[in-house]
Structure 1
Amino acid sequence: MLEVSDLHVSYGAISALNGISFAIKPGSIVTLIGGNGAGKTTTLRTISGLLRPQSGLITFLGEDISTLPAHEIVARGLCHVPEGRMIFSNLTVNENLAMGAFLEQDPAVKARNRDYVFSIFPRLNERLHQTAGTLSGGEQQMLAIGRALMGSPKFLMLDEPSLGIAPRLISTIFEKIVEINRHHGITILLVEQNANLALEISTYAYVLETGRIAMEGESGRLRADPQLKAAYLGG
């Protein structure tokens, strides 16, 4: 569904990605794990068109999207929930959700997507007219994911969904991520600081180190890998 081939990205003179390649099959949950500065967020931002690669190829559903602007990538069904949520804090929950549907012209599809979002995150319906900036961290994360779902995504990229969320809500968020994948067929690329949790819900994983893929494999096998446990899983 998504293929990244020999991707190189730099910030000025600083190299961030050094020729990474990976592929993601439809219907899967794939996770990128690695330390701070490994290139995880840069990978997602480049795929979603927020950064331009120096070289390499990104194909989505067989189409080269490497040079497309971000809004055209969203229109093709690839949506990005950024690190830090990036909700519109001065707008209401309802207005934030409407922003997620800005490319959708069909009112029936918008209404169906809203119902879908509320079925996954009923709390958003309860907070519909509340200013988004007054929500808890967990509720803001629900809103950020809900806003992306309003765009009818086929493929969802999530960057650090557990960041800044109360521990009791983290498991809820991850249960919902699995539900979105399993019951609604949306393919997911997950970047997550909690490597144990990311490996628990994903099917396949890539480990990034200083802009390169250092290891890859089925998530269950990587969870049991002594080297990986020592480096990322507190083992």
Structure 2
Amino acid sequence: MNEPTALAVDDLYVSYGAISALRGISLNVPAGAIVTLIGGNGAGKTTTLQTLSGLVRAKSGRIHFLGEDITALAPHEIVARGLCHVPEGRMVFPQLTVDENLSMGAYLRKNAAAVAQTRDTVFTLFPRLKERLRQSAGTLSGGEQQMLAIGRALMSAPKFLMLDEPSLGIAPRLISTIFEKIVEINRSQGVAILLVEQNAKLALEISTHAYVLETGHIAMQGPSPTLRNDAQLKAAYLGG
């Protein structure tokens, strides 16, 4: 991974009271890359993304995004710099329409023409959202809500996307569609992506590099094709 670095995490420690959630993790996401973070329940994957997006404060360590130290920034300041988080469970606004949810994603942007252009890009990626524009988000299927959550994030014109368990709670027939769209966003828009995903097989197929998180520390890392063939990782995460 010799490309310029979009996101650099150095020796990050996070605690919830007396409980250590992250214990000195370091990782890098090159500009324009898809990097995945895999691990079991309770490994610290969601905490990692919440800390990177400013929702949880680090006890120690540094986070640099596009060369700037963002460790102490507020969540809205981090979004304004182009780092956007699509949380686990999608967290769409259920009472608002699809259209209103998308507008919420663009709340920091002032250029109406640029926002309209981004909206068209979202509809090209996810035509189903345009079909359901006036529908309440809470009435969408799980897969449609995931499309909306990603589309809402894209409305902020991100330079970097963090996706937390995008396959969770989605019908199997739609999972491959969601992952195809993640790759398309990365390739067509040059958006770097940090992907947290329990479906390790899929995550390793679309990423270039992977980190394996176990009980708050990085247990293994390397190029995704190498880890796909690692016997220990296959036994733990890929079904042998």
Q: TM-score range by the shorter chain?
A: over 0.9
SS of 1:143's partner is: helix
Match status 1:180 vs 2:185:
yes
Residue 73 of structure 1 deviates from its aligned partner by 0.2
| Aligned equivalent of 1:26 | 31
State the one-letter code of the partner of 1:31: T
Q: Who is 1:82 aligned against?
A: 87
2:60 aligns to what?
55
- Tell me if 1:215 matches 2:220: yes
Mapped to 1, the partners of 2:37 and 2:27 lie a distance apart of 10
1:232 is matched by which residue type in structure 2? Y
Which residue is 1:142 aligned to? 147
Give the SS at the match of 2:222: strand
Q: Would you say 1:91 and 2:96 are equivalent positions? A: yes
Cα deviation, residue 184, structure 1: 1.1
1:100 is aligned, of 83, 102, 105, to 105
> Residue 132 of structure 1 aligns with which residue?
137
Supply the distance in 1 between the matched residues of 2:184 and 2:9 (Cα, whole angstroms). Answer: 26
The runs of at least 4 aligned residues of structure 1 exceeding 6 Å deviation read: none
1:157 aligns with 2:162: yes
Structure 1 SS opposite 2:96: coil
Q: Distance in 1 between matches of 2:205 and 2:87?
A: 21
SS of structure 2 residue aligned to 1:68? coil
RMSD value, Cα = 0.4
- Structure 2 distance, partners of 1:176, 1:21, is 28
Unpaired stretches in structure 1, ≥5 consecutive residues: none
How far apart in 1 are the matches of 2:115 and 2:33?
A: 25
| TM-score normalised by length of structure 2 | 0.97
Partner AA of 1:62 in structure 2: G
Distance 1:193 1:109 in 2: 35
Instruction: Spell out, residue by residue over 1:6-30, the C-alpha distance to the aligned partner (whole angstroms, 9 max, x if none).
Output: 0000111110000000111001000
The CA deviation at 1:183 is: 1.1
Instruction: Identify the match of residue 210 of structure 2 among 200, 205, 213.
Output: 205
The 3-state SS of whatever aligns with 1:161 is coil
Specify the SS of the correspondent of 2:32.
coil
Tell me, which stretches of 5 or more residues in structure 2 are unaligned?
1-5
1:189 to 172, 190, 194: 194
Seq. identity, %: 76
User: 2: CA distance between counterparts of 1:211 and 1:194?
Assistant: 19
Aligned partner of 2:10 in structure 1 is 5
Report the Cα distance in structure 1 between the residues aligned to 2:230 and 2:169, rounded to whole angstroms.
28
Q: CA deviation at 1:165?
A: 0.2
In 1, the alpha carbon distance for the partners of 2:161 and 2:206 equals 15
